[in-house]
Amino acid sequence: MNASKFIKCVTVGDGAVGKTCMLICYTSNKFPTDYVPTVFDNFSANVAVDGSIVNLGLWDTAGQEDYSRLRPLSYRGADIFVLAFSLISRASYENVLKKWMPELRRFTPNVPIVLVGTKLDIREDNRYLADHMGSNIITPAQGEELRKQIGAAAYIECSSKTQQNVKAVFDTAIKVVLQPPRRKEVARKKRQRSTGCSIVLFVQSPKSHLVSTAGGSSVEAVLLRKV
Residue 138 lies in a domain: yes
Query: Which pTM was predicted?
Result: 0.78
**Which domain covers residue 112, as residue numbers?**
5-181
Give, to the nearest 10 degrees, the angle between helix 19-28 and helix 166-178: 90
Over residues 9-26, the pLDDT tens digits come to: 999 999 999 999 999 999
Do residues 207 and 153 lie in contact, with contact meaning Cβ atoms separated by under 8 Å?
no
Residue 208, domain member (yes or no): no
Asked if residue 216 belongs to a domain, the reply is no
Query: Which of 11, 15, 16, 14 has the alpha carbon at shortest distance from 26?
Result: 11
Give, in order, the Cα–Cα distances in Å from 218 to each of 68, 106, 171, 175, 189: 37, 32, 13, 11, 17
Reported as type and span, the H/E element at residue 84 is: strand 80-86
Pairwise CA distance, residues 11 & 62, whole Å:
9
Alpha carbon distance 51, 171 (integer Å): 12
Q: Minimal CA–CA distance to 14: which of 74, 77, 97?
A: 97
Residue 222, in any domain of the structure: no
User: Cα separation of 156 and 144, whole Å?
Assistant: 9
Q: Which of 13-27, 136-150, 210-224 has the lowest mean pLDDT?
A: 210-224
Q: How many domains does the chain have?
A: 1
Residue 22 half-sphere exposure toward CB, CA atoms < 13 A:
35
Pairing relation of β-strands 210-213 and 154-157?
Answer: antiparallel
Q: Which CATH number does the domain housing residue 35 bear?
A: 3.40.50.300
Pair 6, 58: CB distance under 8 Å: no
**What's 181's DSSP letter?**
P
Asked if the structure places residue 121 within a domain, the reply is: yes
* pLDDT of the residue at 129: 80
Over the stretch 69-103, which tens digit does the pLDDT of each residue have? 889 999 999 999 999 999 999 999 999 999 999 99
Strand partners, 81: 10, 113
Q: How many CB atoms lie within 10 A of CB 219?
A: 15
pLDDT tens per residue, range 41-73 = 788 989 999 888 999 999 999 877 667 788 999
Is residue 75 one of the residues assigned to a domain? yes
In a domain, 197, yes or no: no
